[in-house]
């Protein structure tokens, strides 16, 4: 039986690390990540996310890759090239640049 790989920072495309003193709620972490992604792309598009504490991720894809979690493979295969890592992988948000022509 295949087992999905556990996420590590080195799997992330162009990681931006963000640290907070508190453990933010999901929506707060998401807003913080979007703000960071906007520093790199004027119009970042969220393509996948991971919430370690809740043990959930999106998209909820079933297949596994041998080298990365399936939700990350999904995002990267669709052009995601920015990731925001909040508090050492407590939350990860992966974005694509919708402003590639700018």
Whether 60 contacts 7, CB under 8 Å: no
- Which of the listed CATH numbers 3.30.70.1520, 3.40.50.150, 2.120.10.70, 3.30.1490.340 matches domain 11-90? 3.30.1490.340
DSSP-assigned beta bridge partners for residue 57: 50
With a cut of 90, say whether residue 1 has pLDDT above it. Answer: no
Q: How far is CA 44 from each of CA 7, 8, 13, 86, 89, rounded to the nearest angstrom?
A: 22, 22, 14, 17, 20
Q: What tens digit of pLDDT does each residue of 10-19 get?
A: 999 999 999 9
Q: How far is CA 96 from the centre of its chain?
A: 10
Mind listing the pLDDT tens digit for each residue in 25-44?
A: 999 999 999 999 999 999 99
Which of 53, 36, 55 has its CA nearest to residue 44?
36
Spatial contact of 33 and 99, defined as CB atoms under 8 Å apart: no
pLDDT tens digits, one per residue of 40-90 = 999 999 999 999 999 999 998 876 666 889 899 999 999 999 999 999 999
Domain residue extents for the chain = 11-90
């Amino acid at each position: 039986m295949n087992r999905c790989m556990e996420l590590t920072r080195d799997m992330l495309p162009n990681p931006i690390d963000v640290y907070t003193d508190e453990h933010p709620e999901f929506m707060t972490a998401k807003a913080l990540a979007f703000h960071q992604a906007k520093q790199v792309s004027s119009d970042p598009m969220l393509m996948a996310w991971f919430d370690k504490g809740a043990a959930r991720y999106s998209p909820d894809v079933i297949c596994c890759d041998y080298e990365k979690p399936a939700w990350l493979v999904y995002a990267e295969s669709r052009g995601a090239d920015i990731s925001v890592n909040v508090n050492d992988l407590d939350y990860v948000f992966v974005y694509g640049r919708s402003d590639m022509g700018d």
